Chain A
Amino acid sequence: MYLYDDLDRTLVTERAAEFRDQVARRLSGELTEDEFKPLRLMNGIYLQLHAYMLRIALPYGSLSSDQMRTLAHVARRYDRNYGHFTTRQNIQFNWIKLAELPDAMDDLARAGLHGMQTSGNCVRNITTDQWAGVAPDEIEDPRVWAEILRQHLTLHPEFSFLPRKFKIAVTAAAHDRAAIRVHDIGLRLHRNGAGEVGFEVVVGGGLGRTPFIGKTIKPFLPKRDVLSYVEAVLRTYNQFGRRDNIYKARIKILVHDLGAEAFAKEVDAEWQPIKDGPLALDPAVVAAVAGHFRYPSYEALSDNPPELAKARASDRRFATWFANSVTNHKAPGYAIVTLSLKPEGGPPGDATAEQMDAIADLADRYSFGEIRVGHEQNLVLPHVAQRDLLALWKALDALGLATPNVGLVSDIIACPGLDYCSLANTRSIPVAQELTRRFRDLDLAQSLGRLHINISGCINACGHHHVGHIGLLGVEKNGEEFFQVTIGGQADENAMLGTLIGPAVPYAQVADVVEDIVEAYLELRTRPDEIFLDTVKRVGIEPFRERVYATR
């Protein structure tokens, strides 16, 4: 993982000091709430329904065991003993007091953590594949590029007051686990015809009120140009993006209004004068950043060691978990392990302080001290020796972190909804909790195969409902909570928006509706390995619509 040096540490410490001063000015009345708001937002602090919420940046979802212990400490000392991992690979705490925030920031800064740019109209945490650096299907480690971009865009003097928030994702794998086509900028590392590695640049994707799949404006951008080109995109957006209506302020609207081709021309005009300037990346600079990443010293091991084969043969629960939550690693004899934060009846993405501490200990023992957060709101131990899997599973099982539902129907992505958020129309978490109870039968969940449910409590789409295989969007009708239901969305390299199947359904019926859709799928699929998404593609939405609305 990336190791901070003195420069990185100094910046975070200086940021915490500045924030302490800003809070003091707010508490003394020198700053009005209006003036304080953009400042607190740039440090990840929202005012929610009941309290301030603090969102901590976990760059590209990577953290050390010590950082995880610091998060546990913050949960215990300043919050209500838990934290919530988000779809942006961050963590948020929901119950922090304003007067205590500066102390929490100092404690975090000592571990190299901060809330910079986790909210506000600036470039947000840059995300990437949660399996970066260990996935067998990547052409190189995308975190190096995410880190170069993170540094360049941290406290950027020109782009800290954009028309609206700005999200960048990077992938380097054949299978896109970073959802780059629904980002403001998506960067895909790939090899061109001449064998060189560079970036496909996708812009203007996004969900929210007006969802768009991003458009490719540069099929191949040499690596040396990535900073200058991203700067040119941001400069174009900063000058010409709409500022008169927050619902039309994202770059996707500018790209749509101008057309991708005209937008690309504007970017090119901004890019030409700067492309050979100080932003052209010297390979030595890239090497210096890459040199800050520490890779584990893997032992020379073989795949499927006897301990593992024996455990799989003798323990059915272990075998089920192994088949579901363990993934191939690029080093022989190692595995990538996903820790489900979606237990039956639990709020998706929550972890207690005790769980965080225990995960940190397990990461030290079994994963070279490293932990990842995935955008599906699960955690990952990225470097586990296969011979240790049984011992790790036993420990995770005791902690409630081994529910074998990764990628299955109960692995639900949900926004915080009306339980926390002042923007929400409906609750999301209780719907997710109810669905995990309805689909508690793991044999059924396994037999359904890959099926992603995404829930957003309002049109801002924090739960990414548009790209859920089944998407639920909370709407308000005459003061009552309703859900619009879409099916057929996906966020990967074949990104597509789901299709609405009919009128919104009342809150009390939404779990029944999901069950109806799932039953319809079971009847419609031609083979057990035809996943839900493929069935929807083959038969369209009509049979699902009929099933759901025939009796309603």
Chain B
Amino acid sequence: MRLVRAGRIVADQYVRVLDDEPIPDGVPVIVPAARFLADAEEILRREAPTGVLWPNNRRIAELAPHLDRLALVALEFPSFKDGRAYSQARVLREQFGFHGEMRATGNVLRDQFLFLMRAGFDAFEVVKDADAAVFAEAVARYSVFYQPAGDRRIPALRARLSLGTPALCERV
């Protein structure tokens, strides 16, 4: 596994803490959702940044009251075909205004990078080294986007208006 953040392979500063382990002091941690919710105040009082691993069968709205004190939310892709976390990510970014790190974890492969980025993810726990190595190339594959999403890209429906008269092809 390689962590990609801001387009580069980086070292992971965060420690994953399981349900029954003690939470270490002074280090950034990622704790499971249930444990975090059971003891949020205590965990957030620590000196170091806190992240939460949120499962995709739990309503993301439950996390809303804590978001301004969380440094990271990790969302899960148990399989590449399970797309629930894309919705969670967009709601976190676009409706709850979460500005911290949003990390994709699980079965994260090259062909999802662009979708993930557009949904608002900015950190990726990439399964295959070869995929992590071509991250920049994979997210630059498309230059046209049809819909507004969690990134700032201008969708085609809007772009056409600013382009003026579209260059139509009379015979497609």
Contact = CB atoms under 8 A, between A and B. Distances in A.
Interface in A313-340: none
A112 B170 CA distance: 12
Contact of B142 (A9, A151, A155): A155
Interface in B63-101: 80-84, 86-88, 90-91, 94-95
Interface string A50-86: 0000000000000010110000000000000000000
A434 to B, nearest CB: 40
Contact of B90 (A6, A64, A158): A158
A11 B159 CA distance: 14
Contacts of B172: 3-4, 64, 66-67, 111-112
Nearest to A15: B142
A151 B130 contact: no
Contacts of B149: 156-158
Contacts of B91: 235
B82 A161 contact: yes
Interface stretch (A138-146, A281-289, A452-460): A281-289
Given A5-B160, A9-B169, A238 B83 contact: yes
Interface string B138-150: 0001111111111
Contact of B144 (A10, A39, A235, A288): A10
Given A5-B167, A148-B157, A153 B147 contact: yes
B156 interface: yes
Interface string A4-20: 11111111001101100
Interface stretch (B1-9, B25-33, B112-120): B112-120
B83 A152 contact: no
Given A4-B172, A22-B111, A35 B166 contact: no
B171 interface: yes
Which range contains the number of B residues in contact with the other chain? 35 or more
Nearest to A5: B166
A394 interface: no
B111 A11 contact: no
A159 interface: yes
Interface centre among A154, A274, A288 (most CB of B within 10 A): A288
B46 interface: no
B11 interface: no
A156 B157 contact: no
Interface in B121-156: 130, 141-150, 156
B80 A161 contact: yes
Contacts of A10: 143-144
Contacts of B130: 30
A346 interface: no
A121 B170 CA distance: 34
Contact of A152 (B80, B82, B84, B147): B147
A11 B146 contact: yes
A120 B134 CA distance: 25
A294 B166 CA distance: 13
Interface centre among B148, B159, B166 (most CB of A within 10 A): B166
A14 B144 contact: yes
Given A152-B146, A238-B87, A7 B160 contact: yes
Contacts of A289: 157
Contacts of B159: 7
Nearest to A237: B87
Interface centre among A7, A112, A279 (most CB of B within 10 A): A7
B141 A14 contact: yes
A148 B156 CA distance: 11
B17 interface: no
Contact of A157 (B86, B161, B171): B86
B44 interface: no
A302 to B, nearest CB: 29
Interface string A275-306: 00111001011001101101000000000000
Nearest to B160: A288
A285 B157 contact: yes
A446 interface: no
A154 B146 contact: yes
A294 B119 CA distance: 34
A273 interface: yes
Nearest to B141: A18
A6 B143 CA distance: 11
Contacts of A369: 171
Contacts of B167: 5-6
Interface string A24-58: 00000010000100110000000000000000000
Contacts of B111: 22, 39
Contacts of A239: 56, 84, 87-88
Nearest to B134: A21
Interface centre among B84, B88, B90, B159 (most CB of A within 10 A): B84
B38 interface: no
Contacts of B80: 35, 38, 161
A3 B168 CA distance: 6
B87 A235 contact: yes
A154 B155 CA distance: 11
A202 to B, nearest CB: 22
B141 A279 contact: no
B119 A158 contact: yes
B109 interface: yes
A243 interface: yes
Given A7-B156, A11-B142, A288-B160, A161 B147 contact: no
Given A151-B147, A235-B87, A3 B141 contact: no
A274 B172 CA distance: 35
B148 A7 contact: no
Given A152-B146, A158-B115, 10 more contacts: A5-B168, A6-B166, A7-B144, A7-B159, A10-B144, A11-B142, A35-B80, A157-B147, A235-B90, A239-B56
27 contacts: A3-B169, A3-B172, A4-B168, A5-B169, A7-B159, A8-B144, A39-B111, A64-B171, A121-B83, A151-B146, A151-B147, A152-B157, A153-B146, A155-B115, A157-B114, A157-B115, A158-B86, A238-B83, A238-B84, A273-B95, A277-B94, A282-B161, A284-B161, A288-B161, A289-B157, A294-B170, A369-B171
Interface of B: 56, 80-84, 86-88, 90-91, 94-95, 109, 111, 114-119, 130, 141-150, 156-161, 166-172
A-B pairs with lowest CB-CB distance, top 8: A161-B83, A157-B118, A157-B115, A11-B144, A5-B166, A278-B148, A151-B146, A112-B172
